[in-house]
């Protein structure tokens, strides 16, 4: 009996040791998992935003998040939809177009992380002041790796009573190339989001840039092309390069999204880490000053991830409109 007891005790001890080892290995596996965060190229607002989020997730939530730059949003959204990257950042229009016709059925929203204020910029010493002044000019237009920006460009041109027939289009793959063509003199204007390092670079390279103003009266025509666009206030400062007086700038939302296969608790953890460490986010990406957990939840046609919905429910956050 004693021998049997000792044998059973030893077996139980061995089983416990094995079980503990399995748990430890599982924990190590979870800890070692890399979460790919797909963004646009370095120099874009999108990439800087992704870098801020990845740093917070790694340092504050213990998630090994790695930024994965791509050629453009029309490239990175399918990567996340297919599960080849766990997270992605893109503008609301790109996401809506990407999922049309039940494409990318596994794409899930985490939420709207910040507004995306944008503008057409010109050299500071030019006579051009408003969008209407682009008539007959060489305008960056036709983004092959960011197709939906053509829609946004048309909406912005409409605010000045223009269409693509009124300009000389400069075809580019993405906004980075558009900015480079502007610097090289191949374009009279370039389109970009505020807060991007590239805008700062161009401003310094050409001796100063200015934002072309958009009249509020032109927004009715713009909304016929892109209903989700709106004007948000901008004032002179380090973030709004090219703005020399208070004006309204063309804006829509930048979204953080994931794949349905990512675990609920991980998505919950991502939102929680961002909400609790906003100062760390803003230190890298000033555009995230407007980020709030409540602001994530808006009425979009793309379904939200269950982990995000649980966070909203637990924190009594209700959805708001997209404008």
Alpha-helical runs (H) found in 41-168: 45-60, 73-81, 92-98, 149-158
What digits encode the pLDDT tens for the residues 124-180?
999 999 999 999 999 999 998 888 899 999 999 999 999 999 999 999 999 999 999
What digits encode the pLDDT tens for the residues 278-291?
999 999 999 899 99
User: Given pLDDT bands bounded at 50, 70 and 90, which one contains residue 22?
Assistant: very low
Are 264 and 307 a contacting pair, CB within 8 Å?
yes
Q: 31-116+254-314 — its CATH code? A: 3.40.190.10
- In sequence order, the β-bridge partners of residue 251 are 117, 230
In this predicted structure, what is the pLDDT of residue 295?
95
Fold match between 31-116+254-314 and 117-252? yes
Give the residue from 204, 200, 272 showing the smallest Cα distance to 237: 200
Residue 313's CB: how many other CB atoms inside 10 A?
10
The C-alpha atoms of residue 249 and residue 253 are separated, in whole angstroms, by 13
CA distances to 120, 264, 274, 311, 317 from 267, rounded to whole Å, are: 35, 5, 11, 9, 16
Kindly compute the dihedral angle of the four CA atoms of residues 279, 114, 153, 127, in this order, to the nearest 10 degrees.
-40
Over residues 53-80, the mean pLDDT reads 95
In this predicted structure, what is the pLDDT of residue 189?
98
Residue 26 has pLDDT above 70, yes or no: no
Are 73 and 40 a contacting pair, CB within 8 Å?
yes
Are 89 and 256 a contacting pair, CB within 8 Å?
yes
Question: What's the chain's length in residues?
Answer: 323
Q: In the CATH hierarchy, which fold is given to the domain comprising 117-252?
A: D-Maltodextrin-Binding Protein; domain 2 (3.40.190)
- Region of poorest pLDDT, from 31-35, 78-82, 99-103, 296-300: 31-35
Are 102 and 120 a contacting pair, CB within 8 Å?
no
pLDDT over 90, % of the chain: 76
Please say whether the dihedral angle defined by the alpha carbons of residues 94, 120, 232 and 219, taken in this order, is positive or negative.
negative
In this predicted structure, what is the pLDDT of residue 323?
59
Residue 94 has pLDDT above 50, yes or no: yes
Over residues 197-214, the mean pLDDT reads 97
Higher per-residue confidence, 247 vs 13: 247
Residue 25 has pLDDT above 50, yes or no: no
**Domain edges within the chain:** 31-116+254-314, 117-252
Residue carrying the six token digits 């700038």: 249
Strands 209-211 and 107-123: antiparallel
Give the residue from 106, 63, 111, 105 showing the smallest Cα distance to 90: 111
* Structure tokens given for 314: 């637990």
What digits encode the pLDDT tens for the residues 98-127?
888 889 999 999 999 999 999 999 999 999
Over residues 201-218, the mean pLDDT reads 97
Strand ranges (DSSP E) for the chain? 34-39, 64-69, 87-91, 107-123, 138-143, 168-172, 190-193, 209-211, 230-234, 247-259
- State the angle between helix axes of 45-60 and 264-276 in degrees (0 to 180), rounded to the nearest 10: 100
In this predicted structure, what is the pLDDT of residue 32?
60
* Structure tokens given for 200: 């700062």
User: pTM for the complete prediction?
Assistant: 0.74
Are 39 and 67 a contacting pair, CB within 8 Å?
yes
């Amino acid at each position: 009996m004693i021998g049997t007891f000792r044998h059973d005790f030893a077996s139980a001890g061995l089983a416990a040791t094995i079980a503990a080892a399995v748990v430890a290995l599982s924990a190590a596996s979870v800890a070692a998992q890399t979460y790919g965060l797909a963004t646009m190229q370095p120099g874009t607002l999108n990439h800087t935003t992704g870098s801020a989020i990845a740093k917070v997730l790694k340092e504050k939530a213990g998630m090994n998040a790695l930024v994965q730059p791509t050629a453009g949003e029309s490239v990175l959204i399918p990567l996340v939809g297919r599960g080849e990257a766990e997270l992605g950042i893109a503008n609301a229009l790109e996401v809506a177009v990407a999922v049309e016709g039940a494409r990318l059925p596994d794409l899930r929203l985490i939420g709207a992380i910040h507004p995306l204020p944008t503008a057409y910029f010109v050299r500071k010493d030019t006579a051009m002041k408003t969008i209407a002044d682009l008539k007959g000019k060489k305008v960056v237009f036709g983004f092959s790796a960011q197709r939906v920006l053509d829609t946004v460009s048309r909406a912005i041109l409409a605010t000045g009573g223009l269409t693509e027939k009124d300009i000389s289009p400069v075809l580019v793959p993405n906004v980075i190339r558009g900015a480079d063509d502007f610097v090289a003199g191949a374009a009279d204007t370039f389109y970009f989001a505020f807060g991007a390092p590239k805008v700062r670079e161009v401003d310094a390279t050409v001796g100063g840039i200015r934002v072309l103003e958009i009249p509020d009266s032109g927004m009715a025509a713009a909304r016929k092309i892109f209903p989700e666009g709106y004007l948000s206030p901008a004032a002179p400062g380090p973030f709004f390069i090219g703005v020399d007086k208070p004006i309204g700038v063309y804006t829509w939302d930048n979204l953080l999204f994931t794949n349905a296969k990512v675990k609920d608790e991980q998505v919950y953890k991502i939102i929680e880490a961002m909400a609790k460490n906003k100062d760390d986010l803003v230190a890298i990406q000033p555009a995230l000053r407007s980020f709030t957990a409540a602001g994530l939840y808006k009425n979009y046609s793309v379904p939200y991830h269950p982990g995000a919905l649980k966070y909203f429910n637990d924190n009594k956050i209700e959805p708001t409109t997209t404008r």
